[in-house]
Structure 1
Amino acid sequence: MKKIVFTLCAALLLSGGFVHAQSKKNDKIKKEKAVDTQSIYQFKVEDLSGETFDFATLKGKKVLIVNTASKCGYTPQYEQLEAIYKEYKDKGFVVIGFPANNFNSQEPGTNKDIETFCKLNYGVSFPMMAKISVKGNDMSPIYQFLTQKDKNGVKDSEVKWNFQKYLIDEKGHLAEVYFSKTKPDAPEIVNWIKQ
């Protein structure tokens, strides 16, 4: 009888340990899923050619996301964006451009027009996405993520003008926001890339 009671107690203890271990495992999975909703890797967008661009392909890389325009005082920043992309692309860094026509209609062209403009005038080789809206009622989901703390888990911001820069770390989380006047090759951005 003692042997049966002992066996039952041992079985209960072991199953309790299993349940506890299973519960911890489930908590870890839930935590990982929660982190995923605050990473850029959940997004798939369309590029200038109409192909799907999956942000999950950028895991482990630092990313600079910028809203661009062809007829803006800051348009020459394409040159610096291309330069830092070329310098650091083999070191785990990428620039992603999102053309937008939200500010004084400074990006009126079609995706094809934008692609031609970028290549002819600035030799842009970094990934350029299809034209989107970065503010207002029709704001793209990826920019909702970038600008809303309840989505990105870091901070609220507002896109104030063309060529605003969002830095994303190697885990897909928002790291910092820089306004248009901060050049792409500014020390604070380059130092962040090199860290």
Structure 2
Amino acid sequence: MEKFEKITGVAAPMPLVNIDTDMIIPKQFLKTIKRTGLGVNLFYEMRYDMDGKEIPEFVLNQPAYRNAEILIAGENFGCGSSREHAPWALKDFGIRCVIAPSYADIFYNNCFKNGILPIALPQEQVEALMEDAGRGENARITVDLENQTVSASDGTAFSFEIDPHLKHCLLEGLDDIGQTLQKVAAIDSFETGYRARMPWM
């Protein structure tokens, strides 16, 4: 998994509350078990019309935000079903950080397993960053995981809280498999001893 340390990039403003996982990646795209190729279908029903053509007004279709790495949204982001395809689609599009007042628990934890940093900030701070992001690609926002800060384009910084273990995993690029592999020597030692003690098993 890619490490997350510090990014400075364009933030796309999506001032909507209760953005659910079906809005993030509709159910018809859940047939794959690959984590790649889903970015083109991110926010499909808001991004494309009935003929599959881009809707120019949608934020990620606007030239300033096509390469956004940060998404700023309203409260309860990622609610709905627990599909892991939602963070897969965000990451495949290029979104590495989501900033919102609150998240659905399962989506929040799935983000960390896929290299995305979900940051919860008070409503007024999210609104300030939303306004800053509305200025377009010249308003670049910096997210510093080590120091737990988000800085607007004018230098205004906001601090955020994060579980120390989840922070460690993102900084080191460790998903569940990566964490297990860190213990491979202990696992091998246990299995060798176990077979010696119980050869009939």
Shorter-chain TM-score: which interval? Answer: under 0.3
The TM-score normalised by the length of structure 2 is 0.26
Q: Which is greater in Rg?
A: 1
Higher helix share: 1
